[in-house]
Amino acid sequence: MAKAKIISGGTFRHPYLIVWVGALLLLAVVQLSHLEDKVTFFVIIASLTVLLSLGIKINDWEWTLVDEVYDRGDYLVVKYHGEEEIVPISNITSVLFTNRHAGTTRGRGPPVGPPRITLWLAPPGKFGKTITFRPSDVAVEDDISKVAEDLEARVRKSRSHSAT
């Protein structure tokens, strides 16, 4: 049995903390300011809209990530909310690495979220048809992930062996 190697970088446990802190700061600013009622109303509405959209993005970035992924050679052990799933490499149909920048050359695009790896499964597993995690080997400015490259090579090898 292959020794387990953790290949996920973990998740931010309380992503909505940022939204709550922002809401509290907004409340403090409104309470401390002496703005006219109409201006205060528009400031509150605009700020709440920004906080809501930030909350939706944080949900997309963080809450869709599994907690831990361990590489055991021929399969991955995926942990999510206290449950565990064993995913054979042969069940992975595609590996996608998404870095922090969209459509970039060497990280010069607009930020779109944390680096992550998405695995597409066939058949779908306990956690659905995709598993998404933050790779352990990527800094924000990196354009590549050795974990993603290794998984992609192993998936291609597994698929070529199953085709013969």
- What was the pLDDT predicted at 86? 95
On whether the CB atoms of residues 131 and 87 are closer than 8 A, the answer is: yes
Vertex 75 angle, CA 128 and 80, to 5°: 40
List strands edge to edge, sheet with 75-80.
Answer: 5-6, 68-71, 75-80, 83-88
**What pTM, to 2 d.p., does this model score?**
0.67
Q: Is the pLDDT of residue 48 over 80?
A: no
What are the residue ranges spanned by the domains of the chain? 1-164
- pLDDT tens figures, 76-135: 999 988 899 999 999 999 998 887 655 444 555 555 567 788 999 999 999 999 999 888
pLDDT digits (tens, 9 = 90+) for 1-45: 456 677 776 655 555 566 677 777 777 766 666 656 666 677 777
